[in-house]
Amino acid sequence: MIGIVIVNFGDPARTIRFVREECAKVAAEHGVVVVDNGGAESSTELLRKGLGSDAVVLPAGGNLGFARGNNLGADYAIKEFGADLLLFVNNDIVFTDADVVDRLAARLKELPDAGMIGPKVVGLDGRLQSPEPFKSFAVQHLLPYWGKLFMGRDALREKLMTDYAQTAGEGPHYRLMGSFMLMRSADFEACGGMDPNTFLYAEEAILSERLKKIGKEVWYDPSVQVLHEHGATIDSHYGRMRKRRMRLESDAYYYKTYIGLPPFQYAAARVTYALKALFGR
């Protein structure tokens, strides 16, 4: 039994369309849980009316964020559906391979050491968005800005591992794109689920670290793919500067809590982003 968990925020029409058009492609026994992070009673009613018996709609009572919203949906799917697998998926995904969920579920069962599996995630620009390698805080938040001052374009791209996903092969990788992640319910519970202290960013990396602690790895299978209209909902609600600040704070929490972050690097990143804002970059 697969519990499909979708977090809705401000776009019930897209969520309804996704459940009806994409979730309907899943042949395996499944149940759909939509966690409504919209915070408005009208949003929840729109979802319930539009989805009917196709999904259970859980009002979050406000915007809980990505991690807490998914934890709420996963808890329901496990307890009420008896789901042994959990699919965390965004409503801006298209199953270009109609059987992507079924094939990944079968593959996951063949991989006892894998705690999570994901497909090839293709953006509208044709570039692959998943998987990703481990990157230090400095590489994520300092090198993209300061590296331009003393490195050539190609050398900088290599240091930033910009094209990592474009050539990644099947196997274990550090993290997957959070828009499509399939897990065993037992592993999700054993690792403690998603960290509720994050709101929108860094959840995938944290989940990778949590899985690592229970001896599980993150597996990438490029034999199947999905299309991702990346950031469609986020871009409509948050401006560039706010997203930048949110990412910095989430990443700072992840590196401090799970990796170890030197305080001077965080201070340098805050100065860097202040300069970017000052010069409109």
Side chain identity at 262, as an amino acid letter? Answer: P
| Same domain, residue pair 175 and 227 | yes
pLDDT of residue 80: 97
| Same domain, residue pair 219 and 251 | no
Instruction: Supply the range of the domain harboring residue 221.
Output: 2-131+168-237
Q: Select from 237, 253, 270 the last residue of a domain.
A: 237
pLDDT of residue 39: 66
| Same domain, residue pair 91 and 32 | yes
Q: Region 66-80: what's the mean pLDDT?
A: 97
| Same domain, residue pair 10 and 103 | yes
Q: Which helix (H) or strand (E) holds 4?
A: strand 2-8
pTM: 0.93
Side chain identity at 222, as an amino acid letter? Answer: P
Residue 200 confidence class, pLDDT cut points 50, 70, 90: confident
Residue 231 confidence class, pLDDT cut points 50, 70, 90: low
State the total domains in the chain: 2
pLDDT of residue 280: 66
pLDDT of residue 238: 53
Tens-place pLDDT, residues 113-151:
999 999 999 999 999 999 999 999 999 999 999 999 889
Average pLDDT along the chain: 93
Locate all alpha helices (DSSP H) within the chain, ordered by sequence.
12-21, 41-51, 66-76, 100-109, 137-141, 143-146, 153-160, 164-167, 185-190, 203-213, 232-237, 240-254, 263-278
Backbone angles phi, psi at 83, to 5 degrees: -65, 130
| Same domain, residue pair 34 and 142 | no
| Same domain, residue pair 159 and 174 | no
| Same domain, residue pair 214 and 185 | yes
| Same domain, residue pair 68 and 108 | yes
What is the CATH number for 81?
3.90.550.60
| Same domain, residue pair 27 and 102 | yes
Q: Region 245-261: what's the mean pLDDT?
A: 93
| Same domain, residue pair 76 and 127 | yes
Distance CA 127, CA 58 (A): 34
| Same domain, residue pair 117 and 246 | no
| Same domain, residue pair 141 and 125 | no
